[in-house]
Structure formats: C-alpha cells, structure tokens
Amino acid sequence: MSTPSSLPSADAPQAAARQGETDIRIELPNREPVRARVYGERARGAAVPLVLHFHGGTFVCGGLDNGRNVARLLAGAGALVVSLDYPKAPEAPFPAPIEVGYAALEWLYKQRVKLAGKGAELFLAGEEAGGNLAAAVALIARDRGHPPLAGQILLSPMLDPCAGTASLRQATGDAVQCRWATGWREFLSRPVNATHPYAVPGGSLRLADVARTLVLVGKDDPMRDEALAFARRLSEAGIQVTSNVLPGAANWPAALYEPEGSGCAECEAVVQKHFREFFSAAPPPH
C-alpha cells in the first residue's frame, strides 16, 4: 500500500478539515504503514471508549470518507474512534485485511491511554464488509487472548457468503450480478477460504468467549437475516448480545457508508442511542 509522503505519522497528527477529525498514518511491524482517521475528542483527565472502526464497501472498494458517517455517530456517542483504511481485494484478499486489522488493534491497545485516557475500554465496530472484519478480528483477539475487548458493534455485517437468506433474495431479486457475491468472491480468492472462521465469521463453529456484541440491521436490509442468525448463535454460545431491527433504517447497508450521512436524522439518532447505551453497559476494565 502506498502512503502519501505528506500524511502525518500517528505521533505527529495534523488537524483535518473538520474539528475533531485527524488523518494519521499508523506504523505497523513488518508491514506497510496504514492510513486512518481519528474522530472525537476527550476532556483532559477523562477516559472514553476507544473504537477501531472498519468501513463498508463489499471488501473491494471504499475508503476513509466512506467510514465517516458511522465513525461520526460513534464519536457523537462519546467514543474516540480510529477508522482504518484497510487493504482491499482483489489486490489484498483474505487474510490481508484481517491481519492488518488485528495489527492495528494491537497498536491501538498500546496507545489507549494516550488516545482515550487511563482505563479506556477497547471496542471494534464495522458496517457491511467492515462488520465482517470487526467480527473476524474479535475472534482473533479471543483466540490469542489479547488485547482485551469490551465489545464489538456490527451494523448490517456481511458474515456468510453462502447464506442465501430471504432478506438477501428480496434485496437482489432477479439480478444476475450481486455486488455482495462479487465482493465475497474477490475477498475469499480461493474456495477453501470460505471454510475459515476468520474469513467467514458467520460459519465459525466456536463462538464462546468472544466480546459482547451489538448487532443493528434495517427492516429491508439484505444482511438482516444473516446478522440476526449470528446474534442468535452468539447468544446461544453464552455471549451477551443486543440486536435490533430498525424500521426507519432505509437503504442499509449502503446508507451507512455514504460519505455525507444516511439522510435519515431520526434513524441516526436511534443508532447513536444504541451506541451510547452499549458503551455505558460495558463491564469495568480488568
């Protein structure tokens, strides 16, 4: 991944055009630097939730601007958000985006006091393909026993390429080409990857001990059924899960990664309320 020479490092950020938004470059061990955007501010001496966020784009497109809508809602709910410009398929198929995501999570954990204050709790969040990456990184954190997570937030997550759910069929109709199927094909790159739980969290056979989870979907959301099925499986595995179908969430997941907002102020207020309640219900850090 090429990085513009003018982009500041994480240790020397410059203010972005919008107050409280800063573009940074994160140096990762044995990897190319990765671009990210930091949203939110904290009062001196305070601790706020710290969120690593993954934007949507069916694994193959999108960037920092496409993460703006959800990242601003997370920041508005009181969090300090680092939205990641992860590598995308087909140039960087599985497992590259997830490996970069986990490395960024480790970096974030080391920087947690500096960024979000002493005692800051760490969260993952993502919409659509970004929801897949967030869920996968949560599985890796569980398997490696580090870093400790206070929760994961999944909005219309793409979790299973073989779902064939009613909600997905209703959204695609008789279309010959399905952008989600195309994205999955580019991301997985090889059929064997479809059996890997980090590539397809919805197919994971072991969900015990992952982070507590918030799942939000729209009423007419193509990802609705697979997301709710994942929420049920998490709950059956003993995970604390909150899931909601938001009737006012029109045009999800596409509206989530529109650069200038979803166009539904009422829906965004409800989403932000869910974020705030999820953060406030997090258990105290160990």
pLDDT attached to residue 44:
81
In a domain, 9, yes or no: no
pLDDT attached to residue 174:
54
Residue given tokens 């069929």 in the structure block: 169
pLDDT attached to residue 179:
79
Write the CATH number for 164.
3.40.50.1820
Structure tokens at 93: 């198929």
Average pLDDT over residues 271-280: 96
pLDDT in tens, 182-194: 999 999 999 999 9
pLDDT in tens, 108-159: 999 999 999 999 999 999 999 999 999 999 999 999 999 999 999 999 999 9
Peptide bond into 90 cis (omega under 30): yes
The predicted model scores a pTM of: 0.91
* DSSP codes of every residue in 166-208: HHHHHHHTT-S--HHHHHHHHHH-SGGGGG-TTT-GGG-S--T
The structural domain count of the chain equals 1
pLDDT attached to residue 3:
33
In a domain, 8, yes or no: no
In a domain, 170, yes or no: yes
How is the beta sheet containing 34-39 ordered, strand by strand? 14-15, 21-26, 34-39, 80-84, 50-54, 122-127, 151-155, 213-218, 241-246
pLDDT in tens, 13-42: 333 334 579 999 999 999 999 999 999 988
For 125, list phi and psi in degrees, rounded to 5. Answer: -150, 150
Range of the domain at 22: 14-280
